[in-house]
Amino acid sequence: MHPGAPAEPVLVAWGITSAGKPVFLGLEPGSVESTDAWAGFFRGLKARGLRDPLLVVTDGGPGLIGAVEIVFDRSLRQRCVIHRARNILAKVPAHAQVTVKAEYWAIFDDIDSEPGSAAQAVARARAKAFASKWRKLYPVAVECLEDDFEHLITYLRFPAEHWGRIRHSNFIERTFGETRRRVKVIGRLPGERSCLSLVWAVLDRASRGWRGVQQTIPSIRLLAELRRELFAEIPIHDEEATAETVTAAA
């Protein structure tokens, strides 16, 4: 749940289709951001025709991660690198935050190696250098980086032209500011239906301006190889029913 949002979490997911187009998948209310709540939401999406995506992008919520591992157990999972940056900087004194932030992003930016193990090896080497430099001064911050690090670099298995769009969940979370603004004006929502109607209206309007990812022949081939590797199947071409990447947020 985000401060200033409706009193109870609203579970939201968007995706990128096999054609590279963004699509608003759905939302529903939840009393808590628990594994059961998220799992029920994801099962509902699958019941409506969503196939297991290649990649699910999440923040660090344990309920959300647990549900992904249950419902989309064959899909890859990406931990939001922006959320992790905030987590790390919260453990660093103010006078060092600019430097640490720059060196954190240097782990992930400007990787020229081929997608897959080569690109991930570069990120791991950079993370190791970051840890060696800062562990003595800021051990808790370094532990934060190393915790679940492999899921911070999952996106590097995908086409390089997609990296900037699939390594974080802020794409959808930017719309929450507009939701908070509207809730503040209203003061108090009369019920669940009005809450969902408001959130839906904001997301539906925002989704018209969402940008997808560029698809090229090499990127399509790489995604097809990933799908065969993960699911032992050849991807279909019904872009309306297929979300290759799903981002979830509450």
Residue type, 150: E
**Do 205 and 192 belong together in one domain?**
yes
Q: Which of 167, 245, 249 is nearest to 206 (CA)?
A: 249
Give residues with Cβ within 8 angstroms of 238, minimum separation 6.
none
The reply to whether 8 falls in a domain is: yes
**Do 248 and 182 belong together in one domain?**
yes
Determine the length of the chain: 250
**Do 60 and 42 belong together in one domain?**
yes
The reply to whether 219 falls in a domain is: yes
pLDDT in tens, 72-108: 999 999 999 999 999 999 999 999 999 999 999 999 9
pLDDT in tens, 43-63: 999 999 999 999 999 988 899
**Do 69 and 127 belong together in one domain?**
no
The single residue listed with the structure tokens 């025709």 is 49
* Host domain of residue 4: 1-80+169-250
Give pLDDT, residue 20: 83
Number of domains in the chain: 2
pTM for this one?
0.84
Question: 127: number of CA atoms within 13 Å, CB side?
Answer: 22
The reply to whether 161 falls in a domain is: no
Give residues with Cβ within 8 angstroms of 136, minimum separation 6.
none
pLDDT in tens, 112-166: 999 999 999 999 999 999 999 999 999 999 999 999 999 999 999 999 999 999 9
Number of Cβ within a 10 Å radius of residue 101: 15
